[in-house]
């Protein structure tokens, strides 16, 4: 079976913040499906990105859903603010959340899709007991905090293991890959079972970002029947 139903989510972290509206319009015009919005607090990760005023400005121009990746400690404090500033998908880090089940319920209560992100060192087995409560799992394929890092190949194994874990329990689960995604690894990620590819520097630093999104969207694979 052949498929190209996967989603592409350009990460605005790699946009030109002095020309943010221009870059948002580029994503609008492209074949991208979502805007990936990286919020960092300088505590959970060793970097600070941008906060809700900037997210709100993006939301005013964005014609596609905002997929918000919270790299912050105790994210429960900001779920309402995420919703109020335009989030449709809210993803929290397992490593930054004490009561994940409660947090996921709170995200859904707001009418958003609920996601959990796992750092490269975190086993997918740790989410076995909430897998039925999740809309999305974001597997970090770099250590979070910065764009433009090198892809960690062990991610392929994690995708396969997670797909196996979700089988029969949550067959609609979206597996998102975040960090170092390029045309060199996109096909292999999709073959392993990924549904959403986040790409920051590969899209925004490209000579032709719209064409680059198109190429990521057009990656076609042969799914082997299990």
Positions annotated as catalytic residues are 38, 178
Among 23, 41, 67, 178, binds Zn ion (CB under 5 A): 178
- Does 158 interact with ligand DX5 (rule: CB under 6 A)? no
Number of chain residues interacting with ligand DX5 (CB under 6 A): 22
The partner in contact with residue 176, picked from Zn ion, ligand DX5, none with C-beta cut-offs of 5 to 8 angstroms by kind, is: none
- Cα distances from 113 to residues 1, 69, 219, in angstroms, run 28, 12, 26
* Greatest extent of the chain over all pairs of C-alpha atoms, in Å: 48
Among 7, 27, 35, 38, binds ligand DX5 (CB under 6 A): 38
CB of 145 to ligand DX5, least distance (A): 5
- Cα distances from 29 to residues 1, 23, 32, 177, 211, in angstroms, run 29, 10, 8, 23, 11
Q: How many CB atoms lie within 10 A of CB 121?
A: 10
Q: Which residue has the tokens 């607090």?
A: 41
Choose one: 82-90, 101-109, 188-196, 198-206; the region binding ligand DX5 (CB under 6 A): 198-206
- Does 93 interact with ligand DX5 (rule: CB under 6 A)? no
Choose one: 24-32, 37-45, 91-99, 208-216; the region binding Zn ion (CB under 5 A): 37-45
| Site of interaction with ligand DX5 (CB under 6 A) | 11, 13-14, 36, 38, 69, 142, 144-149, 178-181, 198-202
């Amino acid at each position: 079976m052949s498929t190209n139903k996967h989603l592409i989510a350009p990460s605005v972290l790699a946009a030109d913040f002095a020309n943010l509206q221009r870059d948002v319009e580029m994503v609008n015009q492209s074949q991208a499906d979502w805007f990936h919005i990286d919020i960092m607090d300088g505590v959970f990760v060793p970097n600070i990105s941008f906060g809700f005023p900037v997210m709100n400005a993006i939301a005013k121009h964005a014609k596609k859903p905002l997929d918000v990746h919270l790299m912050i400690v105790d994210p429960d404090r900001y779920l309402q603010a995420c919703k109020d500033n335009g989030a449709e998908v809210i993803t929290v880090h397992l490593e930054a959340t004490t009561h994940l089940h409660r947090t996921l319920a709170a995200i859904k209560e707001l009418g958003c899709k609920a996601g959990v992100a796992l750092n490269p060192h975190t086993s997918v087995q740790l989410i076995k007991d909430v897998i039925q409560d999740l809309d999305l799992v974001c597997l970090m394929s770099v250590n979070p905090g910065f764009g433009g890092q090198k892809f960690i190949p062990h991610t392929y194994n994690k995708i396969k293991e997670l797909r196996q874990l979700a089988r029969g329990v949550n067959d609609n689960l979206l597996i998102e890959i975040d960090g170092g995604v390029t045309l060199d690894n996109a096909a292999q990620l999709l073959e392993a079972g990924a549904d959403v590819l986040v790409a920051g520097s590969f899209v925004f630093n490209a000579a032709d970002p719209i064409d680059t999104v198109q190429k990521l969207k057009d990656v076609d694979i042969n799914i082997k029947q299990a």
